[in-house]
Amino acid sequence: MIGSEIGRYHILEEIGRGGLGIIYKAEDPVLLRNVAIKILPPTLVSETESRDRFIREAQAAAKLNHPNILGIYDINEHEGMYFVVFEYAPGTTLEAKMEKQPVFELNAAAEIFVPVLEAIDYAHQNNVLHRDIKPANILITDENHVKVADFGLAWLESEQSLNETGTALGTFAYFSPEQTRGERLDRRTDIYSLGVVLYQMLTGKLPFTADNPAALIEAHLTQEPVPPSKSNRAISPAVEACILKALKRNPDDRYETVTEMIEAFTKGVYGEARMPSISPTEAAEYNTRGSTFYKQGNLDLAMAEWEKATEKDPYNALIHNNLGTAYDGLGKVDLAVSEYEKAVQLNPNNFVAHYNLGSAYYRVGNLDSGIAQYKTVVALNPKFAPAHYNLGNCYYKKGDFDQAVAEWQNTLANKPDHAEAIYNLGNASWRKGKFEEAHEQWKHTLEIDPNFALASFNIGAYYYKEGKFDEAKAEWDKALSTNPEFAEAQYNMGILAYERNQLGDAIEAWEKVVKIRPTYWQAYYNLGNAYYQKDDLALSEENWKRTVELRQEYWQAHWNLANLHAFRLSRIQEALLGWQAVTALKNDHWPAYFNIGETYFNEGKMELARLEWIKVIELNPKYWPAYHNLAAIAYALGDYANAISWWAKSLAYLVFAWP
């Protein structure tokens, strides 16, 4: 088995054996961590009761997520072998520690026992019993953290025990009387076992001993324990009372809950009760209310309830994930990311939390982190089509089109009618110049979803490219019938009308565009052009100015405005500022330099005009009017030699080489 693979896990070494299986240390290559794996012995695989019990134990314990509970990550089957994947926590057991140190000083015992109490209390509030509490199942890690391990006999309190017929399981020394009788159990059976463990820690002895199981069972059923202070005078009356109450034969005489036992024990040790701050029971109530509000669409109230729930149970991955969805829906993406990260940390095997985290990263533009999360999702659940689809989107945004195509194909392998994936494959084909292939893929998209407006829009673009303008218009009409607010489709309808010299239709289309999307600067620019052709100078100016407001760097709008101001509205200074804006944005735009020069010349600023026309010649050496104007300046200044030279060049380029 060492060095082999079981599921996705790589077996490293054997680290233990128990009644229900062999335990191995293994590596999880997906989540990049070491784990412990318990494998049901092959001899027991054929036994339905053992196999079912093995599976149900893991399912019950996997619900628990607490720093003092050894976590269960996965339960699965591989080639007939059933196995459970645990948190790997190297260290020792309380049993081994007690062999070296049979009696604990009270405060030292409390450092171990209080975390055990809190772990069992947490499990009980989640309706899970342990049923096998003993020192061998209490771990002290190398980092000195206490963890309750092997909920090997754990069961949901709402279920019947598999052993109602009287078959006893576990270690008899720690069994409650009702457990030895094979009765239906509740949380008070664990309280009894806790009392046995605490008695042993403080005295170095078990409360009941016998030579054989039958006699030991009889002792639990009929005898009273010797008060622990008889063996250890340091035990205070309050702590002794706590132990003896837990060890009452009648469950009704014990503590009703572990919470009560925590209060009594900590008060006896420290002089005041030290209660855990968490309450899974209250958290569950808040979570239920949050879910109700969420289903009603009231995200603010859902958020408030789930925030309270996470305060009461910060170890519940599901609640953190729920709170993340509320933050997400309210546009609080940074907070959503934080909650999804907590959910993933608490339950790394939950592919839904990874998926939500990846989606949040995608929305904030963190593509690399999004890719990492989506890759984890598809490793955990290879058939989850949405993760393949979103992974493809991430790769596409990063410009890795081959990877994007591969993931969209994986999407279709798991969900052949995924319209969005087919549509995106069409986009990728178009980008690669495979226009016919793109056309077919978009058509296929519409076969699956006739109302997929983007596919109709792109087919229209295909027809437009092919010169099939009527077909293009029909597709854009279809897109708009599906989505009347589709600004790009409306914009293209304007382009088509403009090219057909249907200025009225073009203006109507573009006016709709800016009403739908007031920031669509291209539509304002085109409206300016159309109104100019209709000689509506006021509206052309208004729309070009709006273009400049929205897109300051779009030099064409500055150019049009400057020419309008100069040649139609006689507003020369505004024109001058416009041409200067053009040259600032596009420093090789020689016509703007030429017009600036003419403005300076008309104002008598000869030197400034000369510098502008010299710039024109540098950019366009064959533009004869610039030479002509430079000659005029030289002549006006009495520099006849240079004037003749400039006119000669002007004439040469006019006659022979002006483009």
- Sole residue written with tokens 């009387």: 177
- β-pairing verdict for 128-129 and 155-156: antiparallel
Q: Which residues, in sequence order, are CB contacts of 345 under 8 Å at separation 6+?
A: none
Query: What does the alpha-carbon distance between residue 372 and residue 354 come to, in Å, rounded to a whole number?
Result: 9
In the numeric block, which tokens belong to residue 459? Answer: 């087919």
Per-residue CA distances from 540 to 11, 495, 524 (Å): 74, 17, 9
Per-residue CA distances from 411 to 228, 387, 405, 423, 425 (Å): 65, 8, 10, 12, 11
Rounded (10°) angle between helices 590-602 and 572-585: 150
Could you give the 3-state DSSP secondary structure of residue 74?
Answer: strand
Q: Which member of 132, 190, 313, 328 is catalytic?
A: 132
Could you give the 3-state DSSP secondary structure of residue 513?
Answer: helix
Could you give the 3-state DSSP secondary structure of residue 282?
Answer: helix
385-393 LR contacts (CB < 8 Å, sep 24+): 385/411, 385/414, 385/415, 385/418, 385/421, 386/355, 386/411, 387/351, 387/355, 387/358, 388/414, 389/418, 389/420, 389/421, 389/424, 390/355, 390/358, 390/359, 390/362, 392/421, 392/424, 393/362, 393/424
The question of whether 300 is a catalytic residue gets the answer no
Q: Which active-site residues does the annotation give?
A: 132
